């Protein structure tokens, strides 16, 4: 599969302690439901991103377990209050075991 470049937007990267950071993420993926059939009538197998996680310095912040009912090119928006500066790591994993990873740096003062 071609290199997938997720898009991540943080509403701020310089955060005052106690402030809320708003995160929006978008990744391209077919999210094949396993219910569709191809032109010859054969079912197209299930192939979805099943897990998404966001960690700050290795500590879990937010995540979700996806099912086939999540739309193609999964989009998530979530909010959290960072307590320390560091690296935010975003990971998407699909049914074939492909990991898509991306990092962002935030500063908490």
- Provide the binding-site residues for other proteins, judged by CB under 8 A: 20, 33, 35-37, 56, 59-72, 74-83
Smallest distance from the beta carbon of 4 to other proteins, in angstroms? Answer: 18
- Is residue 68 within 8 A of residue 47, CB to CB? The reply is no
Distance from C-alpha of 33 to C-alpha of 22, rounded to nearest angstrom: 29
Q: Cβ closer to other proteins: 14 or 72?
A: 72
- Beta-carbon-side half-sphere exposure of residue 3 (alpha carbons within 13 Å): 2
CB 56 → other proteins: shortest distance, Å? Answer: 7
Supply the minimum distance, in Å, between the C-beta of residue 53 and other proteins: 8
């Amino acid at each position: 599969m071609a290199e997938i470049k997720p898009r991540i937007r943080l509403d701020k990267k310089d955060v005052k302690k106690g402030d809320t950071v708003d995160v929006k993420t978008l990744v391209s993926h077919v999210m094949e439901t396993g219910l569709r059939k191809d032109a010859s009538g054969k079912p197209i197998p299930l192939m979805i991103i099943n897990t998404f996680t966001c960690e700050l310095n290795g500590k879990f912040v937010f995540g979700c377990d996806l099912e086939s009912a999540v739309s193609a090119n999964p989009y998530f928006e979530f909010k959290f209050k960072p307590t320390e500066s560091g690296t935010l790591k975003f990971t998407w994993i699909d049914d074939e075991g492909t990991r898509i990873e991306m990092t962002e740096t935030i500063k908490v003062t």
